[in-house]
Amino acid sequence: MAKQYDILFRLLMLGDSGVGKTSMLRSFTDSDFESSHISTIGVDFKMKTLEMDGLKVRVQIWDTAGQERYKTITKQYYRRAQSIVFKHLCYPLPIELLFCLHQLPCVVLQFAPHQVQNILVGNKSDEQLNRQVPLELGVKLATSYGMDFFETSASANHNINESFTRATKLVLQAHKSDIDNLIGSLDEYLDRVDLQEESPSSPQAECGSQRTCAC
């Protein structure tokens, strides 16, 4: 059976309730959009496989509840993520809220692993009439944390693939040498197994030669 994937990464989405985390995930994995808001309880996840740098990369994307009362649960997942997608720039929000968000990456990074890769996303970019956060501010905030920034729309399926693919790519780059080493030792192991199978002393080879003799 063909290998389903070569490597698995975990991506975590964080952001206030209603910013569109579940919608982005559905748009990415199911090309679907739901206009009603059903709040996530605790943590949910979906999977998708991407082809990248000759590898099949399986991404497990955790969708966390934005509601305050689930914060203790969602915090436990920071540690296990290789990438965090911050979705705190919800465009219909008043601009003052943006400044509270400066706190968030610092808090998260205390709990997340050292090598965690982060991107910042401003969702609902289709709601241009309600826009209260200019693009430049999003870019500035992301730059101050050394993150990439994407404006997305789950409803218009804009920049959804691009943002998840970028987060995955960053993780792949960050773990490149570990992955190369792993693949190197796996290739060596498979070569050794091939050699053993071809060797005349192996039971399979003997069995094969007996069959030849019988004919």
Ligand X SMILES: Nc1nc2c(ncn2[C@@H]2O[C@H](COP(=O)(O)OP(=O)(O)OP(=O)(O)O)[C@@H](O)[C@H]2O)c(=O)[nH]1
Interface residue list for ligand X (CB under 6 A): 15, 17-23, 34-37, 39-40, 65-67, 123-124, 126-127, 153-155
Nearer to ligand X, 121 or 147 (CB): 121
CB of 143 to ligand X, least distance (A): 23
- Compute the least distance from the CB of residue 154 to ligand X, in Å: 4
**39 vs 158: CA distance, rounded Å:** 22
Nearer to ligand X, 39 or 209 (CB): 39
* DSSP strands (E only) in 73-169: 83-86, 117-122, 148-151
Closer residue to ligand X, CB minimum distance, 39 or 204? 39
The least CB distance from residue 179 to ligand X, in Å, is 31
- Residue (17 or 161) nearer to ligand X, CB: 17
Length of the chain: 215
Contacts of 3 (CB under 8 A, 6+ apart): 56
End-to-end CA distance of the chain: 31
Nearest to 84 by CA among 55, 57, 64, 56: 64
Pairing of strands 117-122, 43-52: unpaired
| Nearer of residues 35 and 210 to ligand X, judged by Cβ | 35
Beta bridge partners of 55: 52
- Distance in Å, CB of 189 to ligand X, minimum: 42
Residue type at 126 in one-letter notation: D
Q: Are 26 and 164 in contact (CB under 8 A)?
A: no
Q: Shortest approach of ligand X to residue 123 CB, angstroms?
A: 5
Q: How far is the CB of 132 from ligand X (least distance, A)?
A: 14
For the CB of residue 120, give the shortest distance to ligand X in the complex, in Å: 15
In terms of Cβ atoms closer than 10 Å to its own Cβ (0-12, 13-18, 19+), residue 134 is exposed
76 or 173: CB nearest ligand X: 76
Q: Are 43 and 65 in contact (CB under 8 A)?
A: yes
| Whole-angstrom Cα Rg for the chain | 23
Output 3 or 69, the one with its CB closest to ligand X.
69
